[in-house]
Amino acid sequence: MKKRAIPALLLSSMLVLGGCSIATKKDVVAETSKEPADVQKPVDIELLTMSSNETDANVIRDQLSKSGFNVKLNLQPDFGSFTAQQKAGNFDIAISSWTTVTGNPDYAVRSLFKTGGDYNKGPISDPEIDKLIDTAASQTPEQYKATYEKLEQRLVFDKAYIAPLYVSLKNQGLNKNVLNDSSVRLSKSRSMVWEAIDFADTSKRDKDPLILQQSIASLTSLDPIKGNDGSINMLNTNMYVRLVNLTDDDKITADGALSHNFAIANGNSEYYFLLRDDINFAKIQAKAAVDSKDRVGAEDVVFSLNRAKNKDSVPDHRTYSLHEHIKSVEIVTDLNTLSSVKQSGSNSTIKEVLEKGLKSPISELSGNKTDVNNQSGKYQVVKLTTTEPFPQVLNYLAHQSAGIVSKKQVESINTFDVAKYDVNKDISYGDQATVTEGAKYNNALAASGPYILSYKNDYEAVFYKNPGYRIGTEYEPKISKVVVRFIKDADSALSALRSGEIHVYYGVSETKFDLVKNDSKLKLQTLESNGVAYLLFNLNNREVSKSEDLRKAVLYAINQDELIKTYNNNKFKAVSTLTPLVKTGLELKADPNKVKEFLKKYSESK
């Protein structure tokens, strides 16, 4: 195309209108490089996640990029690497998740958001949030809804300490040709109940192993108070019995627990538990499970719960905040005490409540577990007193961290000074190195639950039935051996289920539900869970820690509907970790205008 000449008269007019100045090449470049006044310079932000959450990370990165952020993705291959990066503070926002495995709302917030909480990774330190958590903990469900609404409002909307993503379905796929599918439970909060699972062909119970799967191979600790994560929750739940359990729909029960019955005294601060005498600790000899002949008794309960509530009882205690409402734990030896105290809200005595359904009524109480004989009416009773009225304490006693350990065994191993603990030379009870095949293998576990871990390697962990657990009852484990395969990749785990290499796969991706449903040998079990995914802000020496406006810009850039669509609508909108438990009526909606507003405020404040 030919260039057209500009007429002289027109050129002259242009020069006059331009103030008789002619723009140079340098002026033109400078002028065209200027951004429009209303265009914000992209804000740098680092997103930390694991490869297993890559789908979420990609969607969130796209949403933030479109909203004016320059996103650096810090993608880690596994949970251990993710945790290391989180501890080092190498993130602005991290994809996090929390499952309320106790079925009560206090658990959904206390560890995560209360100042000093053992899983408060922000860390968040907000006196108003602390006060709301403690207030709600002392209230009934009818009262605490309004309190939790105020908490959610401040946590998410007022301060933007977290940005919610979604509520997940809890699900598992199982091989119904191998297993009796009616024996495989899916509970809203409680972890998988191994002792109930049975083969379709019961003749296989002692010949074939039950093969399960989990993605994390590095186990935090086999000491129940030293871990509260996906690496050990299922394992420790099945290794240690508790005073109470949760039903599949989150009701407190003594079924499958150490207690025959439990009772709450008037005032809701004193709790009584009548113990069973048909559970012994298992131990490992030559990699086989044997009955130690040491009964699980009140002495072990008092020891276990006292160390659970004491932050300094072990190095790296990770569950103490769950049990901080425990004031004291003691063995009751005076039978008259049970007859003189009334049950909360009734005229029945504690003794009458504890005796309900017993074959032999309580005729004597013992302070020594070796003297107990339930069949002749001789029992042990443990009394737990809380610092204030706190009915939710029962939910915490159903948590794996309240698992009963052997006083004798733990004290024989944890001989070090906790304050001077040296990770390089001191060995603590439950250290995974002691159960890992190799030169350091020295299994000293004492399991009070239906199964005990014999050994592990990078490929699998092998458990055996506790030969001293509820023998001859419906709670005696059906299958003698359980193998937990470590399969990190979700697609590989699903392939293992479909090929028969594993029998149950917990946590099938929502996008793969149809593959399970359409496989004639498989069955998919689902229910809405207490699991919530959210973005956690780094509140320590980062721009997002300094600027509430910057956090709010991220908050309103998140479009939950888009995230949920990537999972074929098999997830649900969330506001906080409380969402599955308390319907506050609050809702987060993506809002591009608010994003611009808060980014502008952030830029102007710098």
Q: Which domains does the chain have, with CATH numbers?
A: 43-168+529-605 (3.10.105), 179-502 (3.40.190.10)
Tokens standing for residue 508: 């099938």
3-state class (DSSP) for residue 454: strand
Residue 29 pLDDT: 41
| Gap between the Cα atoms of 79 and 76, Å rounded | 8
Query: Can you tell me the distance from the alpha carbon of 63 to that of 557, in angstroms, rounded to the nearest whole number?
Result: 6
User: Which tokens belong to 600?
Assistant: 């502008």
H or E segment at 9? helix 8-17
Of 574, 498, 560, residue with least CA distance to 108: 574
Three-state DSSP state, 158: helix
Reading the block at residue 330, the tokens are 């003691």
pLDDT at 96: 96
Tell me which DSSP letter residue 356 carries: T
Question: What is the three-class DSSP state of 463?
Answer: strand
pLDDT of residue 118: 82
CA 118 to CA 73: how far, in whole Å?
A: 27
Per-residue confidence (pLDDT) for residue 375, from 0 to 100: 97
Contact between 185 and 179 (Cβ < 8 Å) = no
How many Cα neighbours within 13 Å face the side chain of 349?
Answer: 11
- C-alpha span between 133 and 524 (Å, rounded): 37
pTM of the model: 0.80
What is the structure's pLDDT at 34? 47
* pLDDT score at 101: 86
Classified as helix, coil or strand, 284 is: strand
The Cα–Cα gap between 481 and 452 comes to 10
Residues 6+ apart with CB under 8 A from 580: 100, 167, 528, 529, 530, 531, 532
Query: Across the 606 residues of the chain, what is the mean pLDDT of every consecutive 10-residue run?
Result: 38 35 42 50 94 93 96 92 93 95 92 91 96 89 92 98 95 98 94 97 98 95 93 96 95 97 94 98 98 98 97 93 94 96 94 96 97 98 94 93 98 96 94 96 98 98 98 98 95 97 94 95 94 96 94 98 93 96 95 96 89
Q: At what angle do helices 141-152 and 105-113 cross, to 10 degrees?
A: 30
- Whole-angstrom distance, CA of residue 161 vs CA of residue 87: 18
Give the per-residue pLDDT at 523: 98
Which pLDDT does position 30 carry in this prediction?
Answer: 44
CB 281 within 8 A of CB 402: no
